[in-house]
Amino acid sequence: MPKLSPTLHLAICTAWTVAALYMIFLYAPTELTMGEVQRIFYIHVSTAITALLAYILVFLCSIVFLWRRSPAADELAHAAAEVGFVFCSCVLVTGPLWAKSVWGIWWTWDARLTSTFVLWLLFIAYLMLRSYLLDPARAAVLAAVVGIAGGVDALFDYMAIRWFRTQHPQPVILGGPNAGLDPRMGWTLLLTWGAFVCLFLYLLRLRVALARSRREAVAVRREELTP
**pLDDT tens digits for range 15-28:** 999 999 999 999 98
Q: Can you give the pLDDT at residue 47?
A: 93
- Which residue type, as a one-letter code, is found at position 188? T
- In b/e form, how buried is each residue of 6-16, taking b as 16+ CB within 10 angstroms? eeebeebbeeb
Domain ranges of the chain: 38-225
Angle made by CA atoms 13, 112, 128, in degrees to the nearest 5: 65
Average pLDDT, integer, range 174-195: 77
The span from the CA of 112 to the CA of 93, in Å, is 14
Cα end-to-end span (Å), the chain: 43
The helix (H) or strand (E) run that includes residue 155 is helix 136-163
Q: Which of 53-62, 115-124, 167-176, 202-211 has the lowest mean pLDDT?
A: 167-176
Query: How long, in residues, is the chain?
Result: 227
**Cβ distance 188 to 38 under 8 Å?**
no
The predicted model gives 163-182 an average pLDDT of: 53
SS3 177: coil
Dump the DSSP string for 65-106. HHHH--HHHHHHHHHHHHHHHHHHHHHHHHHHHHHHHHHSSS
Question: Which of the residue ranges 50-54, 157-161, 171-175, 177-181 has the most confident prediction, judged by mean pLDDT?
Answer: 50-54
What's the pTM?
0.84
Does residue 111 or residue 17 have the better pLDDT? 17
Hey, is 152 helix, strand or coil? helix
Tell me the mean pLDDT in the region 5-17.
93
Mean pLDDT of the chain: 82
Q: What is the pLDDT of residue 180?
A: 59
